[in-house]
Structure 1
Amino acid sequence: MRVPPSLITLALVLVLVTAPAFAERIVGDAMPDRLAAAPGDPERGRAIVTSRQTGLCLLCHSGPFPEERFQGDLAPSLAGVGSRLSEGQIRLRIADARGLDPDTIMPSYLRTDGLDRVAETWRGKPILSAGEIEDVVAFLATLKD
């Protein structure tokens, strides 16, 4: 079944009009409201954080993952991040850390506009979905030590 272009355009307009603007979600140094309707799942979040194909977090970060070899040292350790940052602060850093530090090497996992050096296949696409970001937030919030 072929969907008429006018219907696709209407759906896109509805999403853009009904979704709060990215900047409107930010309060101080945090994004307090969830990006997805359902709460995140820490188990799925752990799988994303430790994945060498999905999150790629361990390329730059290290953490309490003794089974994972070759953890990064370019960014802060994820150990204890749940004690240092609120869920909203973690969420903003994952969704778009450049809102806090324009010179960061942390990729914007949700924002898709105004980015540099994005591979053609990734242009206009987030690295993680809103639900996946919520999963990662739920997991990182559990890292208290």
Structure 2
Amino acid sequence: MRSVLGRAACGVTLLATAAGATGSPEPLRPVVVVGDAIPASLTGTPGDPARGRAIVGDRTRGLCLLCHAGPFPEVRFQGNLGPDLSGVGARRSAGELRLRLVDGRRLDPETIMPAYYSLDGLARVGTAWQGRPILEPDAIEDVVAFLTTLRDAAGTDRAEP
């Protein structure tokens, strides 16, 4: 872990390619890792917390609640493999959340957290996802914006729809 953070602290730019809407490869936006975070937005604009909440709760898109639980009383069968999302906005900065979404393997090479915006070193990728990230940059920013609103560690945040 120490060597990963040591390299990241200097600032590392990650690049990859993704299949665009036309099917031709287009580069993923570069990200600069500083310490344990990606401080800069992937889009240059803030995300939308309401759209981020929808992604987090969507079992066909974000899949977050397969592994995580949180303040989502309407969602049955939340996961317990990853940390509870209640209060995550108080525990982690937007940049720290962004790195964990983009590619948590930068912090823990053994993590089971999917790399939502990376194509490097992926194995057993479904046909529909080959050559493209799970989430686009605007979706990553929406999820970051939503997660930063979850500030109550007791889980009494009301993650309003």
The reply to whether TM is greater than 0.5 is yes
* Secondary structure, aligned partner of 1:44: helix
Residue 65 of structure 1 corresponds to 72
Contact 1:113 1:124 in 2 (8 A): no
Matches within 5 A, 1:1-145: 12=26, 19-20=29-30, 22=31, 25-145=32-152
- Paired with 1:47 and 1:103, the residues of 2 have a C-alpha distance of 28
* Same amino acid, percent of matched pairs: 60
1:39 to partner: Cα distance: 1.1
* Alpha-carbon shift at residue 112 of structure 1 (Å): 1.1
The structure where strand makes up a greater share of residues is: 2
Spell out, residue by residue over 1:32-52, the C-alpha distance to the aligned partner (whole angstroms, 9 max, x if none). Answer: 000013210000000000001
Cα distance in 2 for partners of 1:129, 1:38 equals 14
Structure in which a larger fraction of residues adopt helix: 1
How many residues align structurally?
Answer: 130
1:57 alignment partner AA: C
Q: Is this contact kept in 2: 1:41–1:135, CA < 8 A?
A: yes
Counterpart AA for 1:88: G
CA deviation vs aligned residue, 1:88-122 (integer Å, no higher than 9, x gap): 00000001011110000000000012211211221
Runs of 4+ in 1 over 3 A off after TM superposition: none
Report the Cα distance in structure 2 between the residues aligned to 1:113 and 1:120, rounded to whole angstroms.
16
Structure 1: how far apart are the matches of 2:142 and 2:114?
17
Query: Where do 5+ consecutive residues of structure 1 fail to align?
Result: 1-7
Bigger Cα Rg:
1
Distance in structure 1 (CA, Å) of the matches to 2:77 and 2:111: 22
Uncovered stretches (5+) of structure 2, i.e. residues with no partner: 1-22, 153-161
Supply the distance in 2 between the matched residues of 1:122 and 1:113 (Cα, whole angstroms): 13
